[in-house]
Amino acid sequence: MSDEKTSKVSGFYKLPVEKRVEIVKNFSGLNEEETKLFSSYLDMEIADSMIENVLGIFEIPLGVAVNFLINGKDYLVPMAIEESSVVAAASNAAKIARVKGGFKTEVSDPLMIGQMQLLHVKDAATAAKNIIDHKKQLLDLANQQDKILVELGGGAKDLEVRILDSPLGKMIVTHIIVDVRDAMGANAVNTMCEALAPMIEELTGGKIRLKILSNLADKRLVRAKTVFDKEKMGGEKVVDAFLESYILASIDPYRAATHNKGIMNGVDALIIATGNDFRAIEAGAHAYAAKDGHYTSLSKYHKDKDGNLVGEIELPLAIGIVGGAANIHPKARLCRKILGVDTAKELAEVVASLGLAQNFAAVFALSTVGIQKGHMSLHAKNIAVMAGAKGDEIDKVANQLVKEEKVKLDRAKEILEKIR
Ligand code: NAD
């Protein structure tokens, strides 16, 4: 790498692990202690404090995607994932996106929604009015629950009341809108909902049942956009083939689910690497994909006037750099340092860009050579390991499997026996 700080690294995948670590160390200014974390495991005491009934640690590989340029800043993007090809595909997509200036993003305020479900009121309209009339008192009470958030400029900002028809009759659902700043916000919002429940019951004479945040965080949206250079893609015909493939995801939920899974390959890998709640992100993303009444693609593509491919993505991202596991897990802190992000907003910008890159890479491969070619060459290494290959044997067996276009366990065992 040159002296200038860039995430563009050619042949990163060919380097030995130690050399890769050195590049990341230099790029992100990691100290010796932080660098050692790559080959260490989560302390049992920390694990035991995180969940119940702990028995041990479950490891998945941590890699880094290269070439990312987002809003003019270079990023090495840590990815915790067990599936082969994903990191390579993201790096390749980011390389193509860099040619026309990389990714550009927009982020809304970090607004989360908390829900309070009210039942057994005599008259729904009167109850709803009583809640709205006491909006200020309710917001004040909510903000007393989290002084830190309020001091940071966040806190409860608004209140909305919805009347829903249900098999139990009219149901009133009050939404509290909370600016959670750099947190994911679930605990913060849940605490507020629980604090407001008695006051809402008193105001309405009803009974609050559920009081919890909504994972459909549609007021906390991130958009990423980029232009994929047509020449780097192999010409305008390839762009057209890409668009033909994409269209199916826009009209058909069977394809949209797989298309969006490809987006989540990238999104989840970074969400996990930064100690965030991937179930919350998954739930929010898929619910948002169905926001217009039918499940569709989270990304959109079109051709610009010069024939290049323009890709856009919009999704809700309830992620934090404080709270949850983000600060408890040493590797999550390390991954944030690798990224060099100081706010949840900036982390969301990288996550959305990565999701778009990942999606592009999958559709690009599908609309040209198909994914199995690239996937299988990486998968061959897994098969070689499964067959019992060690050290140098892994590459030898994997290369032979790919050459024969027969990535199968029985064949891997035969090749291994022959080598030995
Ligand atoms: P948290 O409660 O651990 O930390 C957030 C708190 O940190 C804030 O309320 C604030 O008081 C403080 N804080 C300090 N500096 C801050 C800053 N710069 N910005 C914002 N807050 C700051 O974490 P959380 O984010 O409220 O909750 C996240 C956890 O809740 C995750 O572990 C998640 O898995 C879990 N959870 C999720 C759900 C769900 O998604 N449905 C439900 C319950 C719990």
pLDDT tens digits, the chain, 420 residues: what are they?
Answer: 444 689 999 899 999 999 999 999 999 999 999 999 999 999 999 999 999 999 999 999 999 999 999 999 999 999 999 999 999 999 999 999 999 999 999 999 999 999 999 999 999 999 999 999 999 999 999 999 999 999 999 999 999 999 999 999 999 999 999 999 999 999 999 999 999 999 999 999 999 999 999 999 999 999 999 999 999 999 999 999 999 999 999 999 999 999 999 999 999 999 999 999 999 999 999 999 999 999 999 999 999 999 999 999 999 999 999 988 888 999 999 999 999 999 999 999 999 999 999 999 999 999 886 655 666 777 788 899 999 999 899 989 998 988 888 888 999 999 999 998
Of all atoms in ligand 1, which is nearest to the CA of residue 148?
11
Q: Is 324 in the pocket of ligand 1 (CB under 6 A)?
A: yes
Which residue of 176, 187, 214 sits with most ligand 1 atoms within 8 Å of its CB, as the best mutation to test the pocket? 187
Is the CB of residue 245 less than 8 Å from the CB of residue 359? no
Q: What gap in Å lies between CA 158 and CA 135, rounded to an integer?
A: 8
Which of 175, 210, 211 shows the shortest CA–CA distance to 194? 211
83 has catalytic annotation: yes
Report CA Rg, the chain. 24
Is the CB of residue 311 less than 8 Å from the CB of residue 226? yes
Residue 336 tokens read as: 């944030």
Distance between Cα 185 and ligand 1 center (Å) = 4
Distance between Cα 331 and ligand 1 center (Å) = 18
Any idea which residue has 């024939």 for tokens?
A: 307
CA atoms within 13 A on the CB side of 263: 32
Q: What gap in Å lies between CA 345 and CA 85, rounded to an integer?
A: 28
Instruction: Supply φ then ψ for residue 147, to 5 degrees.
Output: -65, -35
> Which residues have CB under 8 Å from 420's CB, separation 6+?
393
CA angle in degrees (0–180, nearest 5) for 290-97-5: 120
Let me know if 385 is exposed, middle or buried by CB neighbors in 10 A (0-12, 13-18, 19+).
middle
Residue 284 tokens read as: 């929010």
Any idea which residue has 């009934």 for tokens?
A: 53
Which of 385, 384, 386 shows the shortest CA–CA distance to 400? 384
Residues in the chain: 420
Q: Is 138 in the pocket of ligand 1 (CB under 6 A)?
A: no
Q: What gap in Å lies between CA 156 and CA 140, rounded to an integer?
A: 8
pTM of structure: 0.90
Which of 210, 200, 191, 208 shows the shortest CA–CA distance to 133? 200
